[in-house]
Copies of this chain bind each other. A is one copy, B any other.
Amino acid sequence: METSRLETFADGVFAIAATLLIIDVSVTAPGAELGAALKHAWPQYAAYAVSFLIIGIWWVNHHAHMAVIDRVDRAFLFATIAMLACIAFLPFPTRLVTQHLRDDGVRAAAITYGLTMTAAAICFAFCLLYAASGRRLIAETADQRTVSSLSRSVIPGVSINAVATLVALWSPYTALALFAATAAFYVLGSSLFGRG
């Protein structure tokens, strides 16, 4: 299979998963109290924005990695599908977090969010390390330094998400702030210093 077909399918899943997040944004109130209810519901908008941004970052990273790959085999294909299944799962923990942000369920919700992210990061790391091992699926024209740099970058992706998930055991709010801050720093950092 050409990599372009895989990218089209992945683009579809990324776009749909991000856009479906809006289905769970919901505020129900009598007319006279709608204004106050909309203000009170800010965690819903924040969660929508953070999860949309995280899916966007994954989409950007997925393309950066696919740029050095010029063929795929079945193992790579199914590892990518597993990663996409994790990304498409994100609307569920996002909904849990917004529903339980103000009650005791926030810990379980934040852990679910973290486990989903960690699982996606592990699948993603597997994809790249599998492809890069012995340059199995790497394009001839790809610079080895670029490939090495991408390979090195996937391990911190797993670690950061795994650590934030562990943090959620003690302090779910800190963990959620970590997810949001990591996404925001990534966007700022790569916008200011990143490659095109």
Question: Could you list which residues of chain A lie within 8 angstroms of chain B, going by C-beta atoms?
Answer: 1, 5, 7-9, 11-23, 25-27, 29-35, 38, 48-49, 52-53, 56, 59-60, 63-64, 67, 71-75, 77-78, 81-82, 84-85, 88-89, 91-92, 96, 100, 103-109, 111-112, 187, 190-192, 194-196
**Inter-chain contact A78/B187, CB cutoff 8 Å:** yes
Known pairs A22-B89, A88-B22, A92-B25; A100 contacts B34 (CB<8 A): yes
- Contact between chains at B74 and A104 (CB < 8 Å): no
Contacts of A64 in B (CB 8 A): 1
Contacts of A85 in B (CB 8 A): 18, 48-49, 52-53, 56
